[in-house]
Amino acid sequence: MEHETLFPLLCKTADGDKKAFAELYKITSPQLYAVALKLLKRPELADEATQDAYIKIWHNAGNYQRGKGTVLTWMVSIARYRALDLIRYHNVRNEVELNDDAPSGVETTQAVKLGAEQAKLATCLDELEGPQRQAIHLAYVNGMSHQEVVNHLASPLGTIKSWIRRGLQSLQRCLSL
């Protein structure tokens, strides 16, 4: 269903069809925004990442390669990478907001430590190969089953399981350093 709808719209977008791009945006923007918001935790940054992703999609629609995944997967990865760029730029993951209700002492120290651990995890995730990172993200962040990841990435089950297993092993090595 997704391929039958999105691929023709992306092809028309590559040819400069603004109406097709508007329809592509209408169909996919909730998913891309959700990915950006999940990573950034701030609506204004998620809006920025989503907008930047669609600008990139508009300019690069002709570069989509069917063999590397579905249209939606390609679009989500663009939004995800833009969100990660904003995380690095704004250092969102390391922010610990202190206010009048903020706990003091040990709890604040734990919050700072958690922020550092999240930053380390983000760095380790960035070191993974694209397919491993994408499969792990879909399985663990989006909560998809292996079969759902298979359907989403259009790859065999054994390949998906291998990507996830090898990716988790790489993450374990990276995080233990």
* Domain residue ranges of the chain, discontinuous segments joined by +: 1-95, 104-177
Instruction: Please enumerate, as own/partner, the contacts of 136-142 that have beta carbons within 8 Å and a separation of 24 or more.
Output: 136/163, 136/164, 136/167, 136/168, 136/171, 137/80, 139/164, 141/38
**Strand segments (E) across 20-143:** none
Output 67 or 83, whichever has higher pLDDT: 83
Q: What are phi and psi of 40, to 5 degrees?
A: -90, -25
Q: pTM for the complete prediction?
A: 0.53
Say which CATH topology domain 1-95 has.
Rna Polymerase Sigma Factor; Chain: A (1.10.1740)
> Over 90: is that where the pLDDT of 98 sits?
no
Output 88 or 160, whichever has higher pLDDT: 160
- Which pLDDT belongs to residue 175? 82
- Which pLDDT belongs to residue 114? 56
Percent of the chain with pLDDT over 70: 84
- Which pLDDT belongs to residue 93? 44
- Which pLDDT belongs to residue 148? 85
Say which CATH topology domain 104-177 has.
Arc Repressor Mutant, subunit A (1.10.10)
> Over 80: is that where the pLDDT of 91 sits?
no
